[in-house]
Amino acid sequence: MKHFKKIFVLLVFLSFNGFAQEKSLLNLNFGSDLVSRYIWRGMDLGGNPSTPQFQPFLNFDFNVSCNSTVTLGAWGSYGFTGSYSESDLSLKYAYSNENLGTISASVIDFYFPYEKLDFFNYDNDGTGSHIVEMDLAYDGASDFPIHLLIANNLINRVEGDKSLYAEIGYTVLVKDYSLYFVVGGANGKSFWNQVNEDGFKLTNLGVTASKVIKISDSFSFPVWISYVVNPHLKTSYVFAKVNLF
């Protein structure tokens, strides 16, 4: 955990150094997706019963240098029946190089309005309303499109919860669509990762096919179809996602 914090502090320092050296540019990015089921890291988070989810997002991207970006983001997921809702905030630093790819560090604050807990309660003793996670990620350049992620919680809703999660993915282009393969797992008993045994467990084996559907010269939208197996929970899912705007 201490290593996670040190790396993030270093990256944030470099980003502010970039602010001092170059004029910052602000980009605004917003939109929404529609998913048939909310499946995340091999877990069904869509409520009980699981329902389609409306997932809006809002990002402010600060281009601190030609290669560095700091993003302040908000993301949500809201079920059609109201049985599940999620409202997250995030801060991300990313350094990109055309030949080497992108390395990033993120802090994500997870909050679940449907639980009706005090939004301002950040206690880290198992009684708080938030889970705060730190992610370190690497995404390869276009000629080696690998994805690496390691994540661990800084603040847990469950005291002593072992929250370490790691995954590796790879994208293959086939004609006019892409296939993304992922293998992920969690280490130790964890409410957050839905693991009930000690040791490292595979929780997320999946493939996602994506394609941009062109309606006209001025209108198109991407779609995704995913098949995911969670070997630890001994279950599988097929679900779809459409970018609405």
Question: Which CATH number belongs to the domain containing residue 225 in this structure?
Answer: 2.40.160.40
pLDDT of residue 13: 53
Mean pLDDT of 180-184: 98
pLDDT of residue 24: 60
Of the listed ranges 5-9, 150-154, 189-193, the least confidently predicted one is 5-9
Mean pLDDT of 68-75: 97
CA distance 84 to 86: 7
Domain that holds residue 23: 2-243
To the nearest 10°, the Cα dihedral for 140, 141, 145, 149? 20
pLDDT of residue 21: 47
Per-residue pLDDT band for 18 (boundaries 50, 70, 90) equals very low
Mean pLDDT of 86-106: 97
Of the listed ranges 126-130, 135-139, 165-169, the least confidently predicted one is 126-130
Of 64 and 125, more confident: 64
Predicted model pTM: 0.86
Per-residue pLDDT band for 20 (boundaries 50, 70, 90) equals very low
pLDDT of residue 43: 97
Per the structure, the count of domains in the chain is 1
On average, the pLDDT of the chain sits at: 89
